[in-house]
Structure 1
Amino acid sequence: MKTGEKVVLAYSGGLDTSVIIPWLKEKYDCEIIAVCIDVGQGEETHAIKKKAISSGASKVYVEDVVEEFVTDYIYPTLKAGAIYEGKYLLGTSFARPLMAKKLVEIAHQEGANVIAHGCTGKGNDQVRFEVSIKALDPSIKIIAPWRIWEIKSREEEITYALKKGIPISITKEKIYSVDKNIWHISHEGGNLENPWNEPKPELFDMVTPPEKAPDVAEYVSIEFEKGIPVKINGEELSPVELIKKANEIASIYGVGIADIVENRLVGMKSRGVYETPGGTLLYTAHKELESLVLDKETLRFKDIVAQKYADLVYNGLWFSQLKESLDAFVDETQKVVTGVVKLKLYKGNIIIAGLSSPYSLYNEELATFGEDKIYDQKDAEGFINLFGLPLKMRAYQMKHFVENQKYNKTTVGGEQ
């Protein structure tokens, strides 16, 4: 890299990116443009700007993209029903492509051809950032300090930060890696690296631990239009306010804690604890509504799509052709996912309390055990005969085979 070249740095104000600024300046004598992408992490923007400048950045951008994050990244993934390995609602995964998009836009605006990030060489985020950047502008060069510098651990990072006079909140005793946005909070590292260790109650920042949740249940209704949540308890809310409201309600009742040993893209297993209160509420309601309005084959094929979709998002392939194609399928299925779902929340549990949709495929008169005028029960006999025909023919074949075996044994024995 040329001396004095501009570097756009994905900046969060955390330990990694705070240390990277002086390290980049020392190693490359470059100009650092720090970019903080606000996806609802709740950081105070003035403090972030001040910290970046004091750490050596020449310029700081703070980009508020919370609404875009909800409408263009959270909602498509929700409609797909994508959950990674049955537990993880992808809160960090789908934030990264949006951040990469903004980094590329600012690099173009600033005339910079280098983007740096603070992702470790062991994690998934390095892939998500870099693959997304390559998809948007393959000419941009990337610097990943964790893959090339002499620092080998977070403890050494803390020592380096203290040596450089960089203010940090993390300590060697409380060394969790935390990622936060409007959708979730993820916790990794520290004592969580041993999967035998139960998360300590003080770890949780969004969700009330279920044992401390109220002793009474709470009912909540969520209304969807074409797969997108639009109302909570009858109140129409903007996308951002709806996520906040869902978080507020679900967190009180202990909903949304996921503890998972997951398979990272780079080949190792890692343990993460995720808090996704509102997301868990919305995913549950959405899936239940789909069960009411989608036919059996579409619903089951969509489950296959959801798993593939989750893998693509987790692996950083948001801007891939396959993901775009799956979006088209998902959007087609969502045309009928309109209705209201009533849920009962109690100490970390979500219990379905009611479903309603103008597109419902459930017909009470057809399903009743009482008398009806639609379904002729005599028709079932012909259906069963046809449905069971392959089994019937196999039974005949096996019977014929056994009889032939007996006949052959008798004949051979007689000749002897």
Structure 2
Amino acid sequence: MANSACGDAPVGNPSSRGSRILRSSGLVRSFREIEKGGIDLNRPVVTLFSGGLDSTYLLYRLQQAGATQVHALSVDLGGDETPDLALIVDKLGVRLHTVDARDLFAEGYVAPAVAAHAVYLDTHPISSSLSRPLIAKIAIETAERVCAPTVLHTANRSQNSLRRLNGALELLGFAGHFGSPYDLEPVDRADKMRELRSLGLDVVAERAVSGDSNLWCREFESGFLDDPESHLVPESLYRWSVPATAPLNEQIEISFRDGVPVAIDGARLPLAALVDLLNRRVGRHGLGRSSGLEHLADGTKVLEIREMPAAWLLLRSHRALESATLDAEVIREKLHVEQLWVREALEGRWFGELRNACQAFIASTSSAVTGTVRWHLTVAGANTTSIVAACPRYVRDREQWERSSIQAELNHLV
């Protein structure tokens, strides 16, 4: 709801009619729009800020354009990236807001993705499709708090985050200006580096690829990873899936309740902590890496490299328990609904009606998915050694089942 202390600034959730009008006229797509009065630089501006090259350069350009009240928003969703955000914002004279959203992300976005078996076209688990809706939601909350009629991000048209962030901001009804100035006005990486180096921000300028990190995934793209036909990934980029010096051989047991992972080896953990632990335990076997092509809005494909050890094992575990607890026809239908769910999330419609409808169907199946899956992990891969369901549909003694089945049929015929 709009903050009345903000006067006439359109920062809240207006009527649907007014919302459509403001959104169509308030999409920011270039630096020229900003610098030529497309937004009021005397009013507060919220920018999404990761500490990376693009988001730091946006702060610099806003400063150069004369923006007087810039609020850089950093949302902590886990992951291992720790840039010195305070150093950057102090150098650029903007205010930093940090929000710890790890538990919100795990419970409200990762848990539904596990239940939906959110894998893109059977190639890799999705990640930024989960984080962008939450980031957009927190951005609107921040904008309302500081009375900012503008929310900016840094996605460009070769990044799917462009439609995911814009789509989430639109569906959430943000009535002010929003968007990315990189959409219609990309800036060469070398130019951004040169200008930031002139400010003494050498650490930011030296980054060779774009990255996105949260507790579910570490993802790399662009830079020297642009070309799918030649994309040897340096080992130095990986952190979670680095094999131990000596080969490991271990058992690990994952427990689910109503489709949600709740424990490792019998020890209950909040989901964020559980995922963090699995990233390291599974990753030290060198497991959980993936590369895949994902489509942009026009169907063009781009390369993305990921390491997701926890996601890799949790999704396989959830599917194993589904097989043990759900009717085969239900699973067949769920496979179709899962890809509808994934498509809506990918296209920036997390808050849309169809994904919510798919989620309702998936939730109706999750109540049966309770039990444990035990894995044997080695550098060669992972194999189940035990699947125990609270309400199983499997038999544990085939011969006994055959005798009982035959006897039941004979008794029926008598």
Q: CA RMSD in A?
A: 2.1
* 1:150-189 matched pairs, under 5 angstroms: 152-171=187-206, 175-189=208-222
**Partner residue of 2:274?**
242
- Counting only pairs closer than 5 Å after superposition, residues 13-412 of structure 1 correspond to structure 2 as 13-27=51-65, 29-44=67-82, 47-57=84-94, 59-149=95-185, 152-171=187-206, 175-197=208-230, 198-209=232-243, 214-347=246-379, 349-365=381-397, 367-368=398-399, 372-375=403-406
Q: Compute the displacement of 1:216 (Å).
A: 4.0
- CA deviation after TM superposition for structure 1 residue 370, in Å: 8.1
- CA contact 1:19–1:166 (8 Å) conserved in 2: no
> In 2, are the aligned partners of 1:104 and 1:137 still within 8 Å (CA)?
no
Letter in 2 for 1:160: E
- The alignment-based identity, stated in percent, is 25
**CA distance change for structure 1 residues 239 and 269 in 2, over 3 Å: closer, same or farther?**
same
Aligned partner of 1:411 in structure 2 is none
- Inter-partner Cα distance in structure 2 for 1:284 and 1:213: 26
Deviation at 1:148, TM superposition (A): 4.4
CA distance in 1, matches of 2:209, 2:136: 24
* 1:101-144 Cα deviation digits (max 9, x unpaired): 00000101111110011111221111111111111124121141
Q: Which runs of 5+ in 2 are unaligned?
A: 1-38
The aligned amino acid for 2:307 is E
Provide the residue aligned with 1:398 in structure 2.
Answer: none
Q: Distance in 2 between matches of 1:242 and 1:345?
A: 17
CA distance in 2 between partners of 1:278 and 1:14 (Å): 25
Q: Deviations over 1:323-357 (max 9, x none)?
A: 11111111110111000101111215121211011
User: TM-score w.r.t. structure 2 length?
Assistant: 0.84
Assess if the C-alpha contact under 8 Å between 2:48 and 2:153 holds in 1. Answer: yes
Q: 1:371 to 1:81 in 2, by over 3 A?
A: closer
Greater shift in the superposed pair: 21-30 or 276-285 = 21-30
Runs of 4+ in 1 over 6 A off after TM superposition: 376-379
Which secondary structure state, in structure 2, belongs to the residue aligned with residue 67 of structure 1? helix
Contact 1:342 1:352 in 2 (8 A): yes
For residue 208 of structure 2, give the secondary structure of its aligned residue in structure 1.
coil
The TM-score with structure 1 as length reference comes to 0.84
1:348–1:116 Cα change, 3 Å:
farther
Higher Rg: 1
Alpha-carbon spacing, 1:25–1:170, altered in 2? closer, same or farther (3 Å): closer
- Shift of the alpha carbon at 1:165? 3.3
Larger deviation, residues 134-143 vs 236-245: 134-143
Structure 1 unmatched ranges of 5 or more = 380-416
Q: Distance in 2 between matches of 1:44 and 1:123?
A: 22
